[in-house]
Structure 1
């Protein structure tokens, strides 16, 4: 659907700064924490990633929509971002296997988008001033009213959002005759995580965010998984308790992103909100165990406290972010438990870290056959 006229629109930040642009044609306003992703591809994966729930996404790639959308490239059943800010929005698409244009995809889900924004200036501003709440307005509401509305938007710090994106009922994924059974706690799980486990001969039962350890254990799994997800990990006291009980079960545990932070908190290590998070598909990580660098896909605004982790007698840093030395991976010395802050399942994205799923399977194999190990 080609639009020839675009109406003026604005992005208002919590500190009062205004960036001007144009509406792509969907009228309204939307709130969220403004953040940016440096990936040059994979916009549909980004838009449907539950970890982005409650956030307004700024795309650093100047062209968004140019290759349309495809139903096989989603991480959830719906768009998860609160809104989109971009430079050039393409109403036309030119990829043979695309099923629709991005505008129709947005219109069906009423996703507010502002284009024609100086995104380089905006990203520079966010980098200097930190992540903050913002509002996109495409319906002409007065700035004074928008400022009033923006004051009522809660800060991401302390905000529990897993309940907004988690499944409401348990479900099964994969082949029921698979060799391994995995109980996964859904804090905002990406579909590609399930695909990666299933293709490694796993049958997965996915449980709601508020499921108890007893619920997960009832599946009689060979291993446990704690998923990615949005918001602050600290309010997730139930998930933290589940992690503690998994430790005592002596079954292998793998955590990604929010799941990684939950494992840290369950070990008494605190988490903190970053000035700006890591979001993109080209983040460099050092694997301490192998001495090799890895290019990774990342999406997080919270991190595990490195100083506390280094003092912990039962935790060991396995990976760190080369740009800022933040914790990117860890493992427990006394248990078959490990986690990473980034996304080894990324698609599209780098596959340097897909071996982590293999490591999880190896841990399960050792757990099932302790004599052979």
Structure 2
């Protein structure tokens, strides 16, 4: 079946329909990762967007359910040059086509993805429509395209009630955290029904139990699973809270540390969350924030954010740690950044910068046990170069006890 992508500037692509059969209007973005499409498609930060994968062949190793970063696919649609029809991998649970159908996600293949990415880089991220209606004209959808916004997506991706994940040390009697060969599909099915506490946890490459006994409160504004899993693999007990949880409830649980997660959309839309983060900032509890959480903390302390022309999405972005001068390759997925020109030096100072374009990639808060990063130290997909930041967070918590 033919499928069509019509962009906000009137550009029209013709390809083949893949996935679930439905028409969608969304913000079109691109990701440069060569692998890890399962993790990309299940990253809640893509809610409200349609993602184009720049690598030409997607789906060749199928989908392993254990690799999911949440309980469903979040992008509105998927755009690829070629969809592999017959996956080959011993861990494969289903094909990507089956995966897209299961979560009712449409897509298009066979278009010139290089041309699409060039347009987005030159003109900036724009909206588009994916449809199988070959009679649909740009004039028919021009108004819908210009009117579309991602809107309030954080409320859609956050958990609805709090749940706990025990640290690796506490799981010793019940066996280790499962590896790829022992994925428990019953737990996966339980997670689909909303019982997130029963899901399997994926370990970090290096398990560090220095966090044994530490309690971490994770505010879920669109959290990838590997954030909590990275803490649990280091021995921390993690309690995950919905996005609209009050600061009082979190602080009354007496956590040793607070994590602010990644998430989708314009950070300035999260006015209620920002007000609660102001209260968390005022406490003496150590805080580590990632991606959207990093932006929300900046807004809560008087800084500003702005939208990038086409964002950073992929697993090969170099960031420089200003404390030691080292450059790390990072996994990223964001369209907004903190404006360091409007940063109060008495409140926070830059801790990381993007080597490619010089934008801010992290902050260290003055006189506070708080540091935040724009990139993803938990990766999945992507390099594990910056996973040491979880150890830094644990050291901060231990030092403040």
TM band (smaller chain) = over 0.9
**1:14-163 paired onto structure 2 within 5 Å:** 14-24=8-18, 26-140=20-134, 142-143=136-137, 144-154=139-149, 156=150, 159-163=151-155
Shift of the 83–35 alpha-carbon distance from structure 1 to 2, 3 Å rule, reads: same
1:13 equivalenced with 2:34 (yes/no): no
Question: After superposition, where does 1:239-250 map in structure 2 within 5 Å?
Answer: 239-250=273-284
Supply the distance in 1 between the matched residues of 2:368 and 2:253 (Cα, whole angstroms).
Answer: 21
Equivalent residue, structure 2, for 1:4: none
**CA contact 1:256–1:339 (8 Å) conserved in 2:** yes
In structure 2, the residue matched to 1:347 is 380
Q: CA offsets, 1:239-292, max 9 Å, x none?
A: 212222122211100000000001111110001111110000000111110111
Residue aligning to 2:209:
none
Matches within 5 A, 1:183-332: 183-309=217-343, 311-332=344-365
Matched residues, number = 358
TM-superposed CA distance for 1:304, in Å, is 0.2
Tell me the CA shift for residue 333 of structure 1: 1.4
1:291 match: secondary structure: coil
Mapped partners of 2:93, 2:312: distance in 1: 31
Deviation at 1:184, TM superposition (A): 1.1
**Deviation for aligned residue 1:151:** 4.0
Give, in whole Å, the separation in 1 of the partners of 2:48 and 2:316: 23
**Superposed, which structure 2 residues align to 1:361-372 within 5 Å?**
361-368=394-401
- TM-score under structure 2 length normalisation: 0.87
Deviation at 1:17, TM superposition (A): 1.3
Q: Deviations over 1:301-331 (max 9, x none)?
A: 000001112x421211110001111000111
Are residue 167 (structure 1) and residue 167 (structure 2) matched?
Answer: no
Between the aligned partners of 1:195 and 1:336, the Cα distance in structure 2 is 22
How far does residue 141 in structure 1 lie from its aligned partner after superposition? Answer: 5.3
Distance 2:2 2:65 in 1: 31
Q: Distance in 2 between matches of 1:226 and 1:209?
A: 10
**Partners of 2:368 and 2:26 in 1: how far apart?**
38
Q: Deviations over 1:12-33 (max 9, x none)?
A: 1112111121112632211211
2:174 matched residue in structure 1: none
**Secondary structure, aligned partner of 2:268:** coil
Unaligned runs of 5+ in 2: 171-211
Structure 1: give runs of 5+ residues left out of the alignment: 1-6, 369-373
Pairing 1:356–2:389 present: yes
- Please say if residues 212 and 238 of structure 1, whose CA atoms lie closer than 8 Å, have aligned partners that are also in contact: no
Q: Return the alpha-carbon distance in structure 1 between the equivalents of residues 132 and 105 of structure 2.
A: 11
Which is worse superposed, 216-225 or 357-366?
Answer: 216-225
Residue pair 1:160, 1:233 contacting (<8 A) in 2 also: no
User: What are the superposed Cα offsets for residues 185-233 of structure 1, whole Å, 9 maximum, x if unpaired?
Assistant: 1100000111101011111111111110011123221011111000011
Tell whether the 8 Å contact from 2:127 to 2:146 is kept in structure 1 after alignment: no
